[in-house]
A and B are shown apart, each in its own frame.
Chain A
Amino acid sequence: MDDEVLTTLKILIIGESNVGKSSLLLRFTEDMFNPEQQLTIGVDFRTKKITVDGNTVKLAIWDTAGQERFRTLTPSYYRDAQGAILVYDVSNVKTFNKLETWLNELDTHSTKSNIVKMVVGNKIDKEHREVSREEGMKFARRHATLFIESSAKTRDGVQCAFEELVQKIIQMPGLWERHGDAIQVSEEDAGAVPSCVGWKCSVI
Chain B
Amino acid sequence: MSEDVENDFHHVDFTVASIWESFIKSLEEVIFEWKLPQSKRVSPLKRGDIEKAVWDKKTKKEKLSFAEVNFTITRYILKDPGAGVTSPLEDETGDEDKVQALEDIMCFENDFLPQKMWLSSMGNVGQHPHPLAVWYGLRDFVIIAPNHDAVISSETRVKLLLSSLYIAVNNTNCSVPIFIQIHRASDQFYMGVCDGKEVRVDFEMVYLKRAPQHCRYLPGLLDVFKTKIASPISLEQILLSVQFTYILRDWTSYKWTQQPPDFEFLQGETIGVTELGRLPFGATSDPVSELYLYATWPKLVDSAVTDGESYSDFEPSKAPHWSVQVRMADQPACLLSDYFEEFLQLCHCKRNMKDLIGDLMECDSSGIDISTSLSAITEPRVPTLSQVLKRNKTRPKAVVRDGAISHEHLMHMLYFLFPDAADGGVKPYPETWGNSEETKQLEMGNMKTVPVDSLVWRLSIVMSHVLSTLGAVRAAAQLWYEFCGEMLFRWDKGILIPGVPPGFPDHRTCLLNQKLQMLNCCIERRLNRETLARKTSVELEKLSSGVSRISVPCKNSDDEDEFFDCSAEPTGGEGGGGGEEAAAAAGAGPSRPGGGARRKQKHSLWNQPVGRLYKYGNLRLLKTGEHLYVPVTQDPSPKTEDQILEDVDVMVHLGTDAHAAELRARIMSASLLSDMESFKAANPGAILEDFIRWYSPRDWIEEEGIDEYGQKKGSLSPRMQIRGNVWVDVWEAAKPVPARRQKRLFDDTREAEKVLHFLKTQSPAQMAQLLLPTLLHACLVRLMEEERAELPDVMPTIQHIVKQAVRLGQQGNTAQDLPRYEDLSKEMTSVEEVIAQFKSLEHKFSPSGGEQSPELQAFLSHLMQNTQVDVPEGPRGPIGMKIRCMFAEAQKVAQMLSEYDLADSSEETWNSPFATNFPQPHKRHFIMRTHAKRPSTYSIACPQRLSAILQKDSFRLAGCFTQDITFQ
Contacts and interface: CB of A to CB of B under 8 A. Distances in A.
Interface of A: 17-18, 29, 35-47, 60, 67, 69-70, 72-73, 76-77, 79, 109, 111-113, 174, 178, 181, 183, 185, 190-191
Interface of B: 446, 448, 507-508, 636, 639, 641, 644-645, 647-648, 651-652, 654, 656, 661, 664-665, 667-669, 671-672, 675, 695-696, 698-699, 718-720, 722, 725-727, 800, 803-804, 806-807, 810-811, 816-817, 820
A76 B644 contact: yes
Given A39-B727, A45-B652, A17 B698 contact: yes
Nearest to B505: A76
Given A38-B726, A190-B807, A69 B641 contact: no
Given A47-B656, A113-B446, A39 B661 contact: no
Nearest to A10: B648
Contacts of B726: 38, 41
B803 A36 contact: no
Nearest to B672: A41
A46 B652 CA distance: 8
A144 B338 CA distance: 44
A106 B664 CA distance: 23
Nearest to A113: B446
A111 B644 contact: no
B715 to A, nearest CB: 15
A3 B644 CA distance: 30
Contact of A36 (B507, B661, B664, B718): B718
Contact of A111 (B507, B699, B804): B507
A191 B803 contact: yes
Contacts of B669: 41-42
Contacts of A44: 661, 664-665
A24 to B, nearest CB: 15
A41 B668 contact: yes
Contacts of A17: 696, 698
Contacts of A39: 696, 699, 719-720, 727
Contacts of A72: 636
13 contacts: A38-B722, A40-B665, A42-B665, A42-B668, A45-B654, A45-B656, A69-B695, A178-B811, A183-B820, A185-B820, A190-B804, A190-B807, A191-B800
A38 B806 contact: no
A43 B668 contact: yes
B310 to A, nearest CB: 63
Of A39, A70, A112, A190, most B-chain CB atoms within 10 Å:
A39
A68 B639 CA distance: 19
B665 A36 contact: no
A189 to B, nearest CB: 9
A82 to B, nearest CB: 11
Given A43-B651, A174-B807, 12 more contacts: A18-B699, A39-B727, A41-B672, A43-B668, A44-B661, A45-B654, A45-B664, A69-B672, A76-B644, A77-B644, A79-B644, A111-B508
Contacts of B675: 69
Contacts of B654: 45
3 closest cross-chain pairs (CB), A and B: A42-B668, A72-B636, A76-B644
Contacts of A45: 651-652, 654, 656, 664
Contacts of A40: 665
Contacts of A111: 448, 507-508, 810
A35 to B, nearest CB: 8
A163 to B, nearest CB: 20
Contacts of A77: 644, 647-648
A43 B664 contact: yes
A73 B668 contact: yes
Contact of A46 (B639, B648, B656, B810): B656
B507 A38 contact: no
A36 B639 contact: no
A42 B637 CA distance: 13
Contacts of A183: 811, 816-817, 820
Contacts of B667: 42
A17 B727 CA distance: 15
Nearest to B657: A46
A81 to B, nearest CB: 11
Contacts of B636: 72-73
Query: Could you say which of A45, A76, A185 has the most chain B C-beta atoms within 10 Å of its C-beta?
Result: A76
Contacts of A42: 664-665, 667-669, 671
Nearest to A46: B656
A40 B669 CA distance: 10
A69 B678 CA distance: 13
Nearest to B640: A76
A9 B671 CA distance: 29
Contacts of A191: 800, 803
A60 B649 CA distance: 12
Contacts of A185: 820
Contacts of B644: 76-77, 79
A181 B639 CA distance: 27
A45 B800 CA distance: 37
Nearest to A19: B698
Contacts of B810: 111-113
Contacts of A112: 810
Contacts of B720: 39
A64 B661 CA distance: 12
A183 B726 CA distance: 43
A171 to B, nearest CB: 18
A198 B699 CA distance: 37
Contacts of A73: 636, 668, 671
